[in-house]
Amino acid sequence: MGENIFVGIATWLRGLMSGAGVPDLWNDTILLVVKLVAVLLFILVNVLWLVYMERRVCAFMQSRLGPIHVGPQGLLQTAADIGKLLGKEIILPKGTDLIVFLLMPVLVFMPPLLIYAVLPFGENMVAIDMNIGVFYLLAIASLSTIIFWAAGWASNNKYSLVGGMRSVAQMVSYELPLILALLGVIMITGTLNLNTIVDSQKSIWFVFTQPIAFLIYFIAGIAETNRTPFCLVEGESEIIAGPYTEYSGMGYAMFMLSEYANMMIISAMCTVMFLGGWLAPFGLDFIPSWLWFFLKMYLMIFVFMWVRWTFPRIRVDQLMGFGWKVLVPLALANIFVTGVGMYIFRAIGWWI
């Protein structure tokens, strides 16, 4: 029953509308809007929860308790924070590029929103089933680079500018190993459709057949989301808050929230590509597929947080050296080995 709850709601809504004599075109449009609004709500609620979770996990790893006062177990803490930030003035520093400065906090939420449209949250649960899903996802994900950079540029502040430049350098150099790592999976499946990729993991998850690719993807993913071992973009001790330095009130909140939305995307992508997406492991089918997807996604998010609160920040030269001298060659070698392996398996007939 739980398996088809969301699909069931969609079918019920469609039936209700065609019963009321709504033309098919309008019917589809309304359903699409409902799906997108659902995705939007899902992101915002999850992001609020993630900020809370981050603080709790961090506190627990430091033998503290974290937020416990607002609401039961401090659950409403982030809602209260957002309320506070909404009520604050957005300070406009002198000499900023006003249009860009004010536009960037709005635009920063766009790439995550666009990406959620193609993510398969469960069996038959994808807003738009696109046959170039992976390509679309990577193309949109790299858009956030320019938004961080423009925010840093428009602030007219040296720390913001340095942060923006670092963001570009870091994200561009870590996009490469990220995509090259995914290429191994794409070579095996021979498709860019996210649903088909999930389907082809029925016998074995790609984390077991492509462990190196998974590791590279994981490291590059942390760098893409600007989280701690690679948080040079925001490096508080060096450049205050990087591109966000001059933002206050809701502008700042949007950047912070988008960071968590990006983290969700990297985790969701990891789940789809390597952890079998919505497929249930060990035949535990009684748990609905979308719940499996979220469980795996949250497992990945927890690992991201765990890594964040364990390791210190690395230097800029170490970051670049690691990206270009270690991750990219390793990813290329992984592609080579995967290709050779495919030919060998085909030759001995293990490949279908």
Partner 1 sequence: MFGQGLIKGLQITWGRMFDKKQTVKYPYEKIEMFPRYHGRFELDVDKCIACGLCANACPNKVIQLEKEKVDKKQFLTKYVMRIEYCLFCGLCVEACNKDALKFSNIIDMNQYRRSWVRLTLVDRPAPEMTETPEEETPAKVAKNEAAAGQAPGKEG
Taking the complex as a whole, the smallest distance from the CB of residue 63 to partner 1 amounts, in Å, to 5
- In the complex, the smallest distance separating the C-beta of residue 30 from partner 1, rounded to whole angstroms, is 46
Radius of gyration of the chain (CA): 21
Is residue 61 close enough to count as binding partner 1 by CB under 8 A? yes
Residues 144-183 that bind partner 1 (CB under 8 A): none
Instruction: Based on the shown chain and the rule CB under 8 A, indicate whether residue 60 belongs to the binding site for partner 1.
Output: yes
User: CB–CB of 35/10 below 8 Å?
Assistant: yes
CB of 327 to partner 1, least distance (A): 14
CA distances from 293 to 4, 81, 171, 206 (A): 14, 29, 26, 15
Q: How far apart are CA 319 and CA 322, in angstroms?
A: 5
Q: Is 125 helix (H, G, I), strand (E, B) or coil?
A: strand
- Count of C-beta atoms within a 10 Å radius of residue 312: 6
SS3 category, 5: helix
Candidate list 26, 135, 306, 336; residue touching partner 1; CB under 8 A: 306
* Choice between 57 and 266, CB closer to partner 1: 57
C-alpha–C-alpha distance, residues 111 and 71, integer Å: 32
316 binds partner 1 (CB under 8 A): no
Per CB under 8 A, 113 contacts partner 1 = no
* Closer by beta carbon to partner 1, 60 or else 208: 60
Residue 62 Cβ vs partner 1, minimum distance, rounded to whole Å: 7
State the nearest-atom distance from the C-beta of 69 to partner 1, in Å.
8
Would you say 227 and 304 are in contact if contact means Cβ atoms under 8 Å apart? yes
Closest approach, Cβ 78 to partner 1, in A, equals: 19
Q: By CB under 8 A, tell whether 333 contacts partner 1.
A: no
324 near partner 1, judged by CB under 8 A = no
Angle, helices 158-189 vs 133-141, to 10°: value is 170
Binding site for partner 1 (CB under 8 A): 57, 59-65, 68, 306-307, 309-311
